[in-house]
Amino acid sequence: MLDKSDWGHLIPHQGTMCLLDAVVAWTPEAIHARTDSHRRADNPLRSDGILRAVHLCEYGAQSMAVHGALVARAAGLGAAPGFLVSLRGVSLALARIDDLDGPLDVHGERLLGSEASWQYAFRIEHAGREIAAGRAAVMLRQ
């Protein structure tokens, strides 16, 4: 397991905006991260005192950023900054997430990767139950 001190400096999401707490495991193709940030009062995505499930897309996107940074570091490179350009096939099993006890498991799988873009599938689970899934595309700035 890698805690945030190992990889947090590799991604643009800093402070409370870095929503993931630890990387449980990763390979060149996939990542499994874990977090409790959905329960924190200082989560920057909260509005009107709640955190909506749609924000799980950001959790999925951040798993992509961390994965890309770890893959780049393993190759002796720095990760190129990217911009989320699309979400597809998103499914949400609930309306809000701030009332969930226990951590979220965030899974990302690289479907396609090039020097210009990445495509990932993401899945977020709580207590072994899938609560969100979808696909995301990122364009890299070279």
Under the banding of pLDDT at 50, 70 and 90, the label for residue 80 is confident
Instruction: Report the CATH number that the domain containing residue 91 is assigned in CATH.
Output: 3.10.129.10
* Contact present, 55 and 46 (Cβ < 8 Å): no
- 94 Cα distance to chain centroid: 18
- pLDDT at 76 > cutoff 80: yes
pLDDT of residue 120: 98
pLDDT of residue 77: 93
Q: What size, in residues, is the chain?
A: 142
Nearest to 70 by CA among 36, 24, 15: 24
List, for residues 31-65, the tens digit of each pLDDT value: 999 999 999 999 999 999 999 999 999 999 999 99
Domain count, the chain: 1
What domain range includes position 125? 2-140
Distance CA 37, CA 103 (A): 8
Enter the tokens of residue 60.
Answer: 């999925």
Give the global pTM: 0.96
With residue 140 as reference, give the H or E element that holds it. strand 129-140
